[in-house]
A and B are shown apart, each in its own frame.
Chain A
């Protein structure tokens, strides 16, 4: 399994965002079970009060094999978490849909921004169906036009950090349709927000 670690350091209350992938730390060696893409939030780490230690808060994204929708470019601030959802290994995409499952006691969904891979005049919906479950649809409307999506972010999700505990954020039911209307098999990535 390909793993990448996206880091954000928090020093005190001063947020210094590091949103670039750090090639020097290809694997954070976290305890996230390999292949655990079974959904839900089974891997929430032991809750730890923020500020109680000196460790860094990181968001470690774990990517399945391509093609997939994965988290990318995490930005962690004291009270917010911003995640981008990116496509990887998708050659021809007319639209994508996915869900994001998170612990509503730790994160509160605030907003979704369409990053314009699909026209802003197209289908653009991101609604929290119930606390902790975001349902997203992004697509062109009509026609048979597809775009390649490989390491390209399609949406930016903004969460409030309502609780400093570690938590897991999971993309679920990733779906894409190509320019011919054929369903594409797409895997779902996930990530963990935790203290390093």
Chain B
């Protein structure tokens, strides 16, 4: 296996740590907020996540291991923060209001950067006892109530901190890039607090978040929240923010420093590009891309972003965090613009990150052991965006077939998706993609989603996605709700698909044969197991015209008589199925599904000579796997198409019926 050099360090928001800590059995819990790298290298989130998990297993922090998780209701998190972006010095007060659930309530656990030292915990009646510990770069402060709060009663508890952010590589997930012309970044569990208990397990625990941020005059701040007002003084500015409905399965983020903004025209809600003063490269591109991306997402979700303003932050290439998203904000580093075709990749990755505002921030899968509807849906969206907005020179099906050919090649030559957990693992299964987190979360997730789409038709999928956005916007949902939305719009029970491919990993190999008839073609499909699939077949006529037909396959062997307007010379599946279904032609050396080894097969494979499945063609994919490699030309299956492979085909050429 050829692997590219390691990508830049990637950003892991704090909630991932929280979720990982919560999943004692090792269930994967990673961030939605990371664009997929163009590499399958080992230095990836998966391995990094694994190290976090291993650390947590070895040295558990001061968890409230008293069975209180789950039923308390987090009502409000209000923070007063004074922060100097030039030095990283901060003083903060975090107040948490909780309504006790069944069994009562006795403690709360707050997470911040380890450099912020707790000075006091208190409530309306005075000081409260607390204990603290630093673990893996994060300071855990647990407030212990002297008396258990009875069910239904509400209490506000506060902690004050002071110190200087240290931004450890793993733990706080902030960037201590302090000083002039720098761009520090803060996430929850760093400058902003994260609340561990009980949000993760109370599926109704969406809450209100309020922030009063004071920064020195001359500095600027942009936070993933709605700005309510600002008080401008001679020495400092205080900005008041609010997130009316918030959950901790998303980053609460802010950027600071000498930032300037540029308004963007043509978006459905007001939008602006934020960047460091003097760093204007890519700004015109961002200004062009943003309206296209917002329009794409408006159409995809069926509604506009529910924010008064969208902030699109262009991060410098040197930023330690390459990209993420939060309420009303998305950020992306210039590192994505590097290399050939970098502008395309940068644009579509910005679409990926911006899509997270819908597919992770506004709609959130409450199951922490899946990334199907966050990273999977965002990767699906970026590919779709490019097909509709950048590669408009190609037929959309053809383009998608090419993009998902990348996934097919990854499976054949790198990581078989079926060796990974299902995209929605069973609760408590302990399923862990390990170092193949990227393949599992991003690539397999997107592939399954496009497989669903082609199975139920593009139009019905689009309607289902709109329904999901409408019904799950800031409402606790799971993959089951997504299935329900798709089922409603498809007009059929989609349990067969979700059981086989979302909650399961069904392997399908289908043999296709056909006989042209006077009225069209008789197509025979055979499979080892009676797996259900809704297929779009392409009937290739003698003049190259393609006519499409839909069939529902459920038996081991079935023959379908399909009408066609001319002589059918080939029957192939829509190529978008091929990452998930292994199709076999009646001729094992046939490339183009006409059941023959003919000149067109040779010419196709002659073009392929010199191509590698992995490590080439960085121009169009999200990884180093090829989008153009035709594995049917790789006669010896070594991932390289050589003249030897072509000779193997020539030795049998021609074989016609």
Contact = CB atoms under 8 A, between A and B. Distances in A.
Contact of B603 (A39, A129, A133, A137): A137
Given A125-B599, A173-B598, A140 B543 contact: no
B654 interface: yes
Interface string A160-187: 0000000000001101110001110111
B560 interface: no
A136 B606 CA distance: 13
A182 B646 CA distance: 19
B233 interface: no
B607 interface: yes
A97 B602 contact: yes
A115 interface: no
A175 B653 contact: no
A99 interface: yes
A142 interface: yes
Given A94-B607, A97-B599, A129 B656 contact: yes
Contacts of A143: 610
Contact of A135 (B569, B598, B610): B598
B603 A181 contact: no
B542 A173 contact: yes
Interface string A30-57: 0000000111000000000000000000
B491 interface: no
Contact of A37 (B543, B606, B646, B656): B543
Interface string B626-654: 00100000000000000100100010011
Contacts of A137: 598-600, 602-603, 606, 653
Interface string B30-69: 0000000000000000000000000000000000000000
A78 interface: no
A173 B569 CA distance: 9
Contacts of B607: 94-95, 139-140, 142, 144, 177, 181
A175 B599 contact: yes
Contact of B606 (A123, A135, A186): A123
Contacts of A190: none
B646 A123 contact: yes
A18 interface: no
A104 B557 CA distance: 38
Given A99-B599, A173-B600, A177-B604, A129 B654 contact: yes
A147 interface: no
Contacts of A38: 542, 566-567
A188 interface: yes
B128 interface: no
A181 B600 CA distance: 12
Contacts of A130: 656
A172 B609 CA distance: 26
Contact of A133 (B643, B655, B656): B656
B654 A135 contact: yes
A123 B610 contact: no
B610 A98 contact: no
Contact of B609 (A37, A141, A175, A182): A141
B603 A95 contact: yes
Contacts of B278: none
B602 A139 contact: yes
Interface string B592-617: 00000011101110111111000000
A26 interface: no
Interface in A73-96: 94-96
A130 B610 CA distance: 32
A40 to B, nearest CB: 9
B544 interface: yes
A55 B464 CA distance: 70
Contacts of A187: 543
Contacts of B602: 97, 123, 125, 137, 139
A152 interface: no
A186 B567 CA distance: 16
Contact of B656 (A135, A136, A176): A135
A106 interface: no
A137 B599 CA distance: 4
A122 interface: yes
Contacts of A123: 602-603, 606, 646, 650
A127 interface: yes
A130 B653 CA distance: 12
B606 A95 contact: yes
B599 A142 contact: no
A140 B609 CA distance: 10
Contacts of B566: 38
Interface string B133-158: 00000000000000000000000000
A88 to B, nearest CB: 15
Contacts of A125: 599, 602, 650, 653
Nearest to A136: B599
Nearest to A96: B603
Contacts of B542: 37-39, 172-173
A52 B426 CA distance: 85
A98 B544 contact: no
Contacts of B606: 94-95, 122-123, 137, 139-142
A142 B609 contact: yes
A127 to B, nearest CB: 5
B643 A127 contact: no
A131 B562 CA distance: 31
A173 B145 CA distance: 81
A185 B544 contact: yes
A180 B432 CA distance: 39
A38 B598 CA distance: 19
A189 to B, nearest CB: 12
Contacts of A173: 542, 569, 598-600
Nearest to B570: A173
Contact of B544 (A94, A135, A142, A186): A186
A11 B542 CA distance: 39
Contact of B598 (A39, A96, A97): A97
Contacts of B398: 182
A122 B603 CA distance: 10
A144 B238 CA distance: 59
Contacts of B643: 141
Given A94-B607, A137-B599, A172-B542, 5 more contacts: A123-B603, A123-B650, A129-B654, A137-B653, A142-B606
27 contacts: A37-B542, A38-B542, A38-B566, A94-B603, A95-B606, A95-B607, A98-B599, A122-B606, A123-B603, A123-B650, A125-B653, A127-B654, A129-B654, A129-B655, A135-B598, A135-B599, A139-B607, A140-B607, A141-B606, A141-B609, A142-B608, A142-B610, A142-B611, A173-B600, A177-B607, A182-B394, A182-B398
